[in-house]
Amino acid sequence: MFILLVYDIGEKRVNKALKICRQYLDWVQNSVFEGELTKAGLETLKKRLGKIMNKEEDSVRIYKLRSEDYLTMEILGIDKKQVADDGIL
Amino acid sequence: MFILLVYDIGEKRVNKALKICRQYLDWVQNSVFEGELTKAGLETLKKRLGKIMNKEEDSVRIYKLRSEDYLTMEILGIDKKQVADDGIL
ipTM for the predicted complex comes to: 0.89
Q: Are B71 and A63 in contact (CB under 8 A)?
A: yes
Residues 6 or more apart in contact with residue A48 via CB below 8 angstroms: A20
Q: Does residue A53 carry a pLDDT above 90? A: yes
Domain A2-85 indexed as CATH 3.30.499.10:
no
Give the minimum alpha-carbon distance from B5 to chain A in angstroms, rounded to a whole number.
10
Measured distance CA(B50)–CA(B63) in Å, rounded: 17
Measured distance CA(A57)–CA(A27) in Å, rounded: 22
Give the minimum alpha-carbon distance from A18 to chain B in angstroms, rounded to a whole number.
15
Q: What's residue A66's pLDDT?
A: 84
Once rounded to an integer, what is the mean pLDDT over residues B58-83? 91
Q: What is the pLDDT of residues B5-52, one digit of tens each?
A: 999 999 999 999 999 999 999 999 999 999 999 999 999 999 999 999
Q: What's residue A88's pLDDT?
A: 56
Measured distance CA(A28)–CA(A25) in Å, rounded: 9
Measured distance CA(B46)–CA(A52) in Å, rounded: 36
A32 vs B61: CB contact, 8 Å cut-off? yes
Q: What is the percent of chain B where pLDDT is above 70?
A: 97
Between the two ends of chain A, the Cα-to-Cα distance in Å is 29
Q: What is the pLDDT of residues B41-52, one digit of tens each?
A: 999 999 999 999
Q: Give residue limits of the domains in chain A.
A: 2-85
Sign of CA dihedral B16, B19, B21, B24: negative
Contacts of B79 in chain A (CB under 8 A): 59
Contacts of A79 in chain B (CB under 8 A): 59
Q: What's residue A82's pLDDT?
A: 80
Once rounded to an integer, what is the mean pLDDT over residues A68-81? 90
